[in-house]
Amino acid sequence: MGAQTIFDLSQPGRGAGAQRPSPAAVDDLPAELRRDAAPRLPQVSELQALRHYTNLSRANFSIDSQFYPLGSCTMKYNPRGAHRAASEPGFLTRHPLAPASVSQGFLACLHDLQEILKNAAGMPAMSLTPMAGAQGEFAGVAMIRAWHDAQGDASRREILVPAGAHGTNPATAAMCGCTVREVAVRDHGDVDLDALKAAVGANTAGLMMTNPSTCGVFERRVTDIAAIVHDAGGLLYYDGANLNAILGKAKPGDMGFDVLHFNLHKTFATPHGGGGPGAGPVGATARLAPFLPGPIVERTDGGYQWAEPPQSIGRLSAFMGNAGILLRALAYALMLGTEGERRVGEFATLNANYLAARLKDAGFDLAWPQRRASHEFIITLAALARRHGVTAMDFAKRLLDFGVHAPTTYFPLMVPECLLIEPTETECKEELDAFVAAMERILAEARDDPETVRTAPHTMPVKRLDDVKAARELDLRWRPQ
Amino acid sequence: MPFIPHTAADTAAMLRAIGVADIEALFDEIPDRLRSTPSGTPRAGLSEMEMRRRFAERAAQDATGPCFVGAGCYDHHIPAAVWDLASRGEFMTAYTPYQAEASQGTLQVIYEFQTMLCELTGMDACNASVYEGGAGLAEAVLMAVRANRKAARAGWPRTVPMAGAVHPLYVQATRSIVCNQGIDVPMLPYGDDGRVDLTALDGLAAPPVALVVQQPNFFGVLEDVDAIADWAAERGTLLVACVNPLSLALLKPPSAWGSAGADIVCGDGQPLGVPMASGGPSFGFLCSRQALVRQLPGRIVGRTEDAHGEPGFTLTLQAREQHIRRAKATSNICTNQGLLVTAATIHMSLLGAAGLREVAAASCAKTRELIHALRRPRRFSAPCFHECVIDLGCPATPVVEALARDGVLGGLALGPYFAELAHCVLVCATERRTSAEIERFATALRGALSN
């Protein structure tokens, strides 16, 4: 396919005539504010554009076409029914600022979703507006900060994170004007409680963590962690990145967390769209509820209404976040029901433990073999890298040739040469077995023909790409020859 | 089990391979008191048909007549091909393109998108998008504060004034996001012409780090952007331009404002092929001068070569981002609104520069037809684009409510946002509004005002 862009197809005077409105003159725009040269956008026929983008789509991996065992990303099936439900004309044409009196259907949907998420979180309050996990994290840390300020304790500006936390956690803390301190994790994957006790103090705003952790194991002493942080005057933030593991099985609110976010694009099966949109609703305990970002939906005798929490950290977007994603998540949750939610956690865990057992039998090293896998697990290829000079990245790239999207590589940072593998509950046994077979085959190649692995992929539209050149010789836009 | 494929035989074989008796045993590391027992009323799962019925009923409840509200979200025509293509599973269900070799489709679309936005804004570089316009403005403000080294050296206060008619909801979002970093965002007054009054900034001890102006502004009014850009450039203040990308098919690109141009350009991409859909998902864009590229937040795609010297695309400058730089990242953002960017790129390819210009012009013309038909005075005297503030001469909120009951979304009542404009509505007519719909609005408004 090379890299023929839409601009290379352009011819002066060509266009998609059916898309043009009837010409209209506007003669009252001041001349000095008008543009003189037209932007160089493509001039192509409708069919040319259609073919170009259809063909580009085929250069992608996607859930609809490949298995995606991408750890910490929960790449499960995105039901088409949910997509169609959110695409009802009444929803697509609703203006965000339409009066509530003519928005009762939409508001009822949001209210239903708030209730479902409150139940899954084990928390009494929920705001749907954050547009991604990172924005949910931002809301949560901003709420923690605002709560301390409201207690007259503005000195609490330090956020603790376990070693191996996702990069957004420290980045979020910094964005909220807080500093970050890492707490060590012990060699069985749990947080080091002595290190935590030493770290908390009068500056502690709170602790951010996932559970199951980024190590792919359930943090067994989570209630002790909560007690240590609470006793020191801090609050606990639950990062919902790994909630799929325990959906319907355990609730963050019961573990002692004060505020959390969901990743609806993970746990509630909304499509990732090649990088977004997502949605990151935040839930809170009663004492943090007044600080939630607005707007939220309230049910009154007169119907559903928008409301702003009394001490809200404020609005995080112009309108109602990624409303269409919220509708898709509701559609999915309605199809699951409460029983279906529980089975998500169960079968996600079953698939991960099955894959872990099979890969261990095939000779791969589990990072924490003594632990139960959650919905995901980590293998380390450190020994393999030493023996054959084949890295985790080489393995990941070679998997692409077998029609499998690479697992998450080099995360968490504390495990050398690691692959973080999350199969999700929607994959069948045959798919998991095929993955094991591919891994076994690559393992044999690493022994017998390491060059094939080191130079992979071989069957993609391009060979391995030069990232260094991309960053050194910046080419961020097409230019005419 | 709507989406779980396991047969009883599969489950049994898998449990045997793991070496446990049942699935519950896999949760044995969760302390007993944390294991949820079902609470509340169990909710039975719905079939797709039942779920779709509920959604269809609720969506039908919200169907309204013609929409004359803009205010950052516009009812433009979207070619059928746009969402037929964007909804292909290969685009819709792909992950972030970290594995570049398996993501060339998404990566090339973003590269084409970056090019198109650079063409519209006249700027050197564009990122792969951020969440939406309001949060995007917050990122632009944070970026400007990081990037203005002169201000940091001279110790100017971290103040970023906004022109008085920047979208009030963008202002709210920006304040919520930047206040935690000690950045102050004061509002400048607007004049009777509806344009910003910069004299409020005269006499300050130090100039502001950055200044935000929106074009067309929230009132639909066109600002004197040349004068504003020159004012900023003379003082070393970085200029953040918040723009409607569709308007740039007709209006001067921010790179050409004044003698120096804007430094950072942001806005919401909804007018480029994204349905109104309650305001989201949409996407925000962020463009800059070349010198500020490394201060851009979020993803950026670059063209490079593969191991055989063939061209290909990859995410680049990742050392700015949270997964590498952690607490020192330019932002915590790890989303670009990829699917919406895909739709917008296809939309711009189908419309082209001429099509976008015609849509913008037709929308301006329809709005002028609307103003004439409504027979109420304009509140502001400066020229407007495709939105306009109309003075109803009485409190506007109940009028807008009455119009909605009458099946017309008759503009946005401004009282909740500007107390002094409680008698005013902000109206908009896109190219989709027909003369019959405009007449219907005018008739309904006369009825509402006479009650």
Summarised one tens digit per residue, pLDDT across range B386-423 is: 999 999 999 999 999 999 999 999 999 999 999 999 99
A24 within domain boundaries: yes
Partners of A147 on chain B (C-beta within 8 Å) are none
What pLDDT, on a 0 to 100 scale, did the predictor assign at position B39? 66
CA distance B219 to chain A (A): 15
A352 within domain boundaries: no
Instruction: Say whether A62 and B383 touch across the interface (CB within 8 A).
Output: no
A472 within domain boundaries: no
Instruction: Say whether B338 and A275 touch across the interface (CB within 8 A).
Output: yes
The conformation of residue B233, written as its DSSP 8-state character, comes to H
Q: What are phi and psi of B311, to 5 degrees?
A: -70, 150
Cβ B117 vs Cβ B287: under 8 Å: yes
What whole-number percentage of chain B has pLDDT above 70? 99
Instruction: Say whether A28 and B326 touch across the interface (CB within 8 A).
Output: no
Domain total for chain A?
A: 2
Q: What is the DSSP string of B164-224?
A: TTS-HHHHHHHHHHHGGGT-B-PBPPB-TTSSB-GGGGTT-SS--SEEEEEES-TTSBPP-
Cβ B87 vs Cβ A446: under 8 Å: no
What pLDDT, on a 0 to 100 scale, did the predictor assign at position B38? 66
Indicate the residue among A297, A318, A336 that finishes a domain: A336
Partners of B252 on chain A (C-beta within 8 Å) are 32-36
What pLDDT, on a 0 to 100 scale, did the predictor assign at position A2? 52
* CATH (domain of A157): 3.40.640.10
Summarised one tens digit per residue, pLDDT across range B7-57 is: 999 999 999 999 999 999 999 999 999 997 766 678 999 999 999 999 999
What pLDDT, on a 0 to 100 scale, did the predictor assign at position A1? 44
Q: What are phi and psi of A160, to 5 degrees?
A: -95, 140
Looking at the structure, do residues A48 and A87 belong to the same domain, yes or no? no
Chain mean position to CA A324:
16
Summarised one tens digit per residue, pLDDT across range A81-135 is: 999 999 999 999 999 999 999 999 999 999 999 999 999 999 999 999 999 999 9
Looking at the structure, do residues A108 and A36 belong to the same domain, yes or no? no
Instruction: Say whether A327 and B69 touch across the interface (CB within 8 A).
Output: no
pTM: 0.98
Indicate the residue among A336, A354, A371 that finishes a domain: A336
Indicate the residue among A302, A336, A370 that finishes a domain: A336
Looking at the structure, do residues A192 and A318 belong to the same domain, yes or no? yes
Partners of B45 on chain A (C-beta within 8 Å) are 334-337, 339-340
Summarised one tens digit per residue, pLDDT across range B289-325 is: 999 999 999 999 999 999 999 999 999 999 888 888 8
Tokens standing for residue B353: 């520069």
**Letter string b/e over residues A6-26, b meaning 16 or more CB atoms within 10 A of that residue's CB:** bbebbeeeebbeebbbeebeb
CA distance A386 to chain B (A): 24
Task: List the single residue in A96, A137, A354 with the smallest CB-CB distance to B18.
Answer: A354
What pLDDT, on a 0 to 100 scale, did the predictor assign at position B63? 82
A342 within domain boundaries: no
Instruction: Identify which of A220, A198, A219 has the alpha carbon closest to the alpha carbon of residue A208.
Output: A219
Residues near B240 by beta carbon (within 8 Å), at least 6 away in sequence: B137, B140, B141, B144, B160, B210, B211, B212, B213, B262, B263, B264, B265, B266
Q: What amino acid occupies position A416?
A: P
Q: Which fold has domain B352-450?
A: Aspartate Aminotransferase, domain 1 (3.90.1150)
Mean pLDDT of chain B: 96
A442 within domain boundaries: no
Environment class of A386 (CB within 10 Å of its CB; exposed 0-12, middle 13-18, buried 19+)? exposed
What pLDDT, on a 0 to 100 scale, did the predictor assign at position B329? 86
Looking at the structure, do residues A201 and A332 belong to the same domain, yes or no? yes
Q: How far is CA B80 from CA A43, B87, B108, B275, B365, in A?
A: 18, 11, 22, 12, 24
In terms of pLDDT, which residue wins out, B354 or B64? Answer: B354
Instruction: Say whether B253 and A85 touch across the interface (CB within 8 A).
Output: no
Looking at the structure, do residues A136 and A205 belong to the same domain, yes or no? yes
Q: What is the DSSP string of A362-390?
A: TTPEESSTTSPP-S-EEEE-HHHHHHH--
Low-confidence ranges of chain A (pLDDT < 70): 1-2
Looking at the structure, do residues A186 and A315 belong to the same domain, yes or no? yes
Whether CATH 3.40.640.10 fits B80-345: yes
Structural domain boundaries of chain B?
A: 80-345, 352-450
Q: What are phi and psi of A398, to 5 degrees?
A: -70, -35
Partners of B357 on chain A (C-beta within 8 Å) are 38
A286 within domain boundaries: yes
Question: From the CA atom positions of chain A, what is the Rg in Å?
Answer: 25
Helix A104-121 / helix A323-361 crossing angle, nearest 10 deg: 30
Instruction: Say whether B34 and A223 touch across the interface (CB within 8 A).
Output: yes
A461 within domain boundaries: no
Looking at the structure, do residues A120 and A33 belong to the same domain, yes or no? no
In terms of pLDDT, which residue wins out, B327 or B57? Answer: B57
Looking at the structure, do residues A40 and A95 belong to the same domain, yes or no? no
A127 within domain boundaries: yes
Choose, out of B14, B174, B335, B408, the residue to mutate when testing the contact with A (most A CBs < 10 Å). B335
Residue A135 region by backbone torsions, left for phi larger than 0, else alpha for psi between -120 and 50, else beta: alpha
Q: Which domain holds residue A305?
A: 81-336
Looking at the structure, do residues A228 and A310 belong to the same domain, yes or no? yes
Partners of B307 on chain A (C-beta within 8 Å) are 455, 463-466
Summarised one tens digit per residue, pLDDT across range B150-163 is: 999 999 999 999 99
Looking at the structure, do residues A226 and A123 belong to the same domain, yes or no? yes
Instruction: Say whether A39 and B15 touch across the interface (CB within 8 A).
Output: no
